[in-house]
Structure formats: structure tokens, C-alpha cells
């Protein structure tokens, strides 16, 4: 299954967690979770996939950068990952969520 489709289904099901960093960035940019969800659901593609090392577990993980527009045309940048438990996708964790500076 396409990764963006998996992420969008997790967003529709509200299986999303926001890190403290993402919540802080959203607050700074006056973004609500609903606006972030809209931007992900409207995104045409994953902008970039990154390999990263989790600072706590030291394990390699894949992070997805998504740039999407809300219905009002707000350009939002998100970065997150899919977590699995016992082989099942359980939620999408947003590590970063802010207005995009690329216009």
C-alpha cells in the first residue's frame, strides 16, 4: 500500500500523536490539529522521505515530510513517522508541524 495513503487513513481515523515540538510550532503559527489534518489529506505526494536515528532508542527510522494546503490555501509542512505495534500501524506521530516557508 502507498505510504501516503496509509498516513491519510491514519489521519482520517485520528490515529495521530503530536510531539511537544509540533504542538509548540502549531501554537506559534496559530494552527489547529484540524488544519494540519486538512493539509495532509490534501497533499498530492510525500515531499521527502528521510532516514533518521531516534535519539532515545538509537534505532534508524523513516521520517516523512509532507507539504500540503488547507482548504483556505495555508501551506503547511509536517514531518512524522508511522509507528507499528505487533506489525500493525497504530498511529502517525507528527514531530514537526508548521506553516511552510517555501512559497
CA 5/CA 52 separation, integer angstroms: 22
What are the tens digits of pLDDT across the range 21-54? 899 999 999 999 999 999 999 999 999 999 988 7
Average the pLDDT over 93-99 and give the result: 75
What does the domain layout of the chain look like in residue ranges? 3-99
Model confidence, pTM: 0.85
Give the pLDDT score at 10.
92
**Phi and psi torsions of 38, nearest 5°:** -55, -45
Site of grid cell 515531499: 47
Average the pLDDT over 2-28 and give the result: 92
Q: Interhelix angle for 33-42 vs 3-12, to 10°?
A: 150
Strands (E), the chain: 16-18, 46-53, 60-69, 75-85, 88-99
Among the four given CATH numbers 3.30.2310, 3.30.450, 1.10.10, 3.50.50, the one describing domain 3-99: 3.30.2310
Amino acid at each position: 500500500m502507498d505510504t501516503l495513503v496509509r498516513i491519510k487513513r491514519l489521519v482520517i481515523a485520528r490515529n495521530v500523536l503530536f510531539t511537544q515540538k509540533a504542538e509548540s510550532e502549531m501554537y506559534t503559527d496559530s494552527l489547529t490539529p484540524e488544519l494540519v489534518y486538512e493539509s495532509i489529506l490534501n497533499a498530492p505526494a510525500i515531499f521527502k522521505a528521510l532516514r533518521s536515528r531516534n535519539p532515545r532508542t538509537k534505532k534508524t527510522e523513516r521520517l516523512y515530510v509532507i507539504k500540503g494546503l488547507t482548504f483556505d490555501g495555508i501551506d503547511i509542512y509536517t514531518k512524522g513517522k508511522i509507528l507499528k505495534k505487533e506489525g500493525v500501524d497504530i498511529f502517525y506521530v507528527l514531530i514537526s508541524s508548521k506553516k511552510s516557508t517555501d512559497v
